Structure formats: C-alpha cells, structure tokens
A and B are shown apart, each in its own frame.
Chain A
Amino acid sequence: MDPILTRYVREPNGHTLAFYEKTGGYQSLKKALGMTPDAIIDAVKASGLRGRGGAGFPTGMKWQFVDKKSPKPKYICCNADESEPGTFKDHVLMERNPHLLFEGCLIGCFAIGAKVAYIYIRGEFYHVQQVLERELAKARAAGYVGKNIFGTGFDCEIHIHRGAGAYEAGEETALIESLEGKRAQPRIKPPFPAVEGLWGCPTAVNNVETLCNVPVIIERGAEWYSKLGPEKNQGPKLYCISGHVENPGVFEASMDVTLRDLIYDKKYAGGIRDGRALKAVIPGGSSVPVLLPHQLDIPASFDGIAKAGSMLGSAGTIVMDDTTCMVWAAENLLYFYKHESCGKCTPCREGSAWLHKLLGKVERGEGQMRDLDLLLSVANNIAGKTLCAFGDAEATPVTSMIANFRSEFEAHITEGRCTVPAPWRARARAMAAH
C-alpha cells in the first residue's frame, strides 16, 4: 500500500499550508461542509474507521453518541498526549502533516455540531507545538479556521492546550480533567464524555491519527476506504517499531501486513540488530501482553493481534533480542507505571509500587519462589479493579512476562543473580534501581 497519511512527511516543506493546498488540502473540508453532519457520521461509520489511540472503538459510533440535542456547546478534544512507551506516530503526523490534523478536527466538529476543538499536546512535545501554533495561525489567516469557513456560515476554532508531563492525561476523562485545569485523574464512567465531558458538555475525544484519517474518508469515499485492509480493520495504520531492530521508525501499512514483515522486512524495520535472535515483542505499547517469535505470522490488525492473545493498542511495537532479561524488562516497565500512576485508585497506586519492589527483588537475585505467586496475586488484585485501564495496563507486563518466561524468573531466584546480564545495561546496579 502506498502511504496515505505519511505520503509527504519526507518532503521539504511538506508541513506548510502552501504545500498542503497544492496537494489537495482542505478540499475534504469543503466537500464535508456540503454534506449533512449525519451523512459525515454515516460515511465514517461505513468506512470502518476504528480509534487509533489504543482501544480501537469505532469512531463513527463515538460521534453518533455525542448528544446533539443537548443545548450545551459540544467539543472535540484531540488526544495528542502521546505517552505510551514505544509510541511515536502522532509526533510524526503533527510535526510533518499538521494541516491534515486541523482538517480532521474541523470535519469532526462539523459532524458533531461543535464550534471549538482543543488539541491536547503533551508538554514534552514543545517543538511540535511550535509547528502546530505556527501552521494554525496560517490556516486561520487563510480562512480555514475561524468564522464563516468557505462562506458556509460554519464557525470553528482550534486551540492548542499544552500538558505538563503526565502519562495519565492520555486517558480520555483524565485528559478532560487536565484541560479543565486540574490534576489528570480519570472520572467515573458513566457518564461518558459523549454525554458529559469537557465542562459538563458533550465531548468527543479522538486520537491524532484517528482524526487524520477522516479527511481521507471524505475525499476518497467510505467504500474505497473500507476496502483497505481486512474486514473491521480498515484503513492505513501507522506502526512504530523500536528497540533492537536495524531500522527503528514509523511505518505506514494496511492492517493485513504481518508482524513478522513489520519487524524483518527491509521496507520496514529491517530485522534484528546485529543479526541476533528475537526473544519477545510487545506489539501495542508497553501495556499489552508480550508475544513470542513463533506468534508473529499474524496480521498486525486489531483483531489479528487480539486473536494471538495480545492487543494492537497504539501500535507501539517494542522488539527485544536474546540479550534482554525479561525480569529486568518487567521491572523497567513497572517503574514507569509506579511513577505515572495518578494515585486516585488504591489498587493501582499501592499495587504498582509493590509490583516494582517485588520485581526488583527478583531481578537482584534476592527473591524467593513464593514471590512469583505474590506478584501474580498483586497483579490480579489490580486488573479490572480501577477506574481506568491503567490498572490492567500495569498488571499485564507482570502476568504476561511470568506466563511466558517463568523459567527465567525462577533462574534468577535459584542462582541468586541476573542470568541474562546485557552489555548495554547499567554497570552499577544502584543506578538502575534508585
């Protein structure tokens, strides 16, 4: 498949308004403003577009759930808080194709009856935000954003909102809380944001990549779009491949591409670094179960990876070669979850610290066999017992690593040391553990 979303990302000045206009930019918006909002939602539904942020929820449905009859204003919040470890696709889209995102936001606003869209960008993406602000000002000056767009009487504003460093702000209700000027902590659902979101108003929260797909659907039609890739997993998808591969990066493909091709094909990540053997793959950002080398001949689609027992998630694929200690990898991830837990729900806040502590003990060779059962028990007491999916996300690395690499955990315990010490790790243990 030829790249659609990332077609011009390597072009010099490919991010500018002039270039975007020259390649047919904002024509989808013009076309959409000639349609009825319901027709747009129907087209998005018919296209089969599923949310690219992680959950894979159908975007058309999400928009349809927005309470149109409500007298309150409606909002679109674009989730650009890309913080899932191993994920860096929205970064590329925003930096090199910002107008596609703006166009997607505007079409989305028209479809759900909103007049304002907020792009919530993580604070660490400061240089990306500068690109967005600059290009947004140009789009506003050219009349694509603001009052009476294309003379149709449709008013729509886009604003950029900068976060300040919180993984949890990527959860949709936590994002809304953060936008309201509070701590990024999730809300109890229901009510869902479609009914009561930003400032209590009906809100749709969509990922950057999801919104970037919308102009494509409007331009080429839902029928054309729905033929890209396998059924229920249509459309172009950006895959982020990182870790021990020759050529890490963002690659666009339809979802019938296999995980093996993404990792080994010269077109994509180009195989394992230094000709080493593959040990494990985390296919969808750090929060999903790990897959083994023999499980890779599956389509890298939402349903294909789910069938293999993992999740496509945000398509942040982390590849680990045979020098990787899986106990160390689990400990590294649990440090992340311990650090980023928002603290609202007790199982997650306390459990993440316990999991990290126990994994550290096993990694140092100070563990006992019963610690493995304790780890599983703590994980089991977190998963499904918290307000948002963070609880499941932190329990998953522990349960899936132990399920797939139990002998390695046991070897740490019986030998009293790390059995797979890699040359690229810290020499002084204290440095990695503080």
Chain B
Amino acid sequence: MSFHPTMDYGRGHHKSARALPEEGPAFAYTPENRTRLEEICSRYPPERRQSAVLYALFIAQEQQGYLTLNAMRHVAEVLRCTPAEVEDVVSYYVMFFTRPTGKYIVQVCRTLSCALRGAERVTEALSAELGLQPGETDARREFTLLEVECLGACDKAPVVGVNDDWHECQKAEEVRALIDGLRARGTASLTGCHLKVDQ
C-alpha cells in the first residue's frame, strides 16, 4: 500500500478508523421515552418523521448510555427510515457515542479563543489528574476526557463542558477542584453558564 512515497499511510489521518458499532442487547424505547419521541415527531409533517432522528438518537443514548446497532435499528423502525440512514447520522455528529462512556464526559474546548487562554494546559492537567489521554474512558467508567471544538462561550475561556452542562474560566491549576466537585456533588458543582436563567 504505497500510493505516494512520502505519505505515512497507516498512521494519523489516513489510518482507517472504521470500527463497527456494537450489536448490543435488544433495544426498545421505554413507554415514556416513546411518548416523548412521538410528541417531538408531531413537530414535523407526518410524512417527515425522519427529521426527528437527532432527537430520537439523543433519547436512545439517554436510555442506554450509548448507541448500538440494535438501538439504531429500533430508531429506524420508529421513524420509518432505513437503519443505514440512522447509522449515517450517528457516525457524522460528534455528540453521539457508539462506545460506553464515563458517567461524566469532560469536554475541554480546544479552539483558538479558549486555547489563547490556556485550554491546552487545562487538557494537560486533566489528563494527568485522570490518567487519561483525550478520547479515553477510565476503567471504572467514571470519566471520559474529550477535546471538543468551539462551544460558543469564548468570553469565559477556557470552557469545559461536562455532559450537557458547562464550567467556565477553568484554570489548569484548579482541575483537581473540578474533578473533586464532580465526584462529590455531580454537575451541580459546575459554574454553569454565567447567563444562566434562575428558575
């Protein structure tokens, strides 16, 4: 396999990353989740149920923790589209996981505005604290460490997203406090968005 003499095939970008999702156990929505999904489907014309695929996958991921081939087949059946169309979507969007993740998915924004304020150092410190490289999950499935692209909160850089919540102005020296806070009080220990509405 050498199409070009100086290209490092088999490494980096050109390494094939294709790994099939797991079959997983049999999957069906719980009745409550199915009702939620049907409410969302009603936002689209009846013949356009496929539009709800992102919501359907979020709900399936919430129910099972990650997405398996069985879950995708079930989503396809419910939305009356093909399993291939569902897998196509799953493999494209970064918020879907086809492998088990930790209880807390710690996502450090790595794009320029956060990087200018030390996001690389935050990743480095988190990596050392958790003993994980970005992309890895610990054996106890407590934490997954990820680097993500711009989260849209550049004024409070560096931003760290944890699951669906986020933590602003994270300093590299204070990552232990972040981790301890998550262990002790869950996502309630995060700063949240500074604009967050109290209700």
Q: Which residues of A contact B (CB under 8 A)?
A: 9, 15, 82-88, 91-92, 95-96, 122-128, 131, 134, 157, 159, 161-167, 178-184, 199, 240-244, 248-250, 282, 286, 316, 318, 320, 324, 329, 332-333, 335-336, 338-340, 342, 353, 357, 424-428, 431-432, 434
Contacts and interface: CB of A to CB of B under 8 A. Distances in A.
Interface stretch (B18-26, B27-35, B153-161, B175-183): B153-161
A125 B93 contact: no
B189 to A, nearest CB: 16
B89 A424 contact: no
A296 to B, nearest CB: 18
Contacts of B43: 157, 159, 161
Contacts of B184: none
A297 B92 CA distance: 42
17 contacts: A82-B152, A85-B113, A86-B112, A91-B153, A95-B196, A96-B197, A127-B166, A164-B93, A164-B95, A165-B93, A249-B155, A318-B112, A320-B116, A324-B116, A333-B111, A342-B92, A426-B123
Contact of A357 (B12, B81, B112, B115): B12
A181 B87 CA distance: 11
B53 A181 contact: yes
B45 interface: yes
A228 to B, nearest CB: 24
Contacts, number: 182
Nearest to B55: A162
A86 B89 CA distance: 27
Contacts of B50: 180-182
B118 A340 contact: no
A339 B149 contact: yes
Given A95-B195, A162-B58, A244-B116, 4 more contacts: A127-B164, A161-B43, A179-B51, A243-B113
A207 to B, nearest CB: 14
A75 B133 CA distance: 45
Contacts of A329: 112
Interface in B35-62: 43-45, 48, 50-55, 57-58
For chain B, which range describes its interface: under 10, 10 to 19, 20 to 34, or 35 or more residues? 35 or more
A243 B133 CA distance: 26
Interface of B: 12-13, 43-45, 48, 50-55, 57-58, 79, 81, 85, 88-89, 92-96, 110-113, 115-118, 120-121, 123-124, 127, 133-134, 148-157, 161, 164-166, 192-193, 195-197, 199
B116 A318 contact: yes
A431 B150 contact: no
Nearest to A342: B92
Q: Which of B44, B123, B148 is most buried by chain A, counting CB atoms within 10 A of its CB?
A: B44
Contacts of A87: 150, 152, 154
A83 B150 contact: yes
Contacts of A9: 195
A336 B53 contact: no
A93 to B, nearest CB: 10
B145 to A, nearest CB: 11
Nearest to A249: B155
B89 A182 contact: yes
B155 A126 contact: no
A425 B154 contact: no
A106 to B, nearest CB: 16
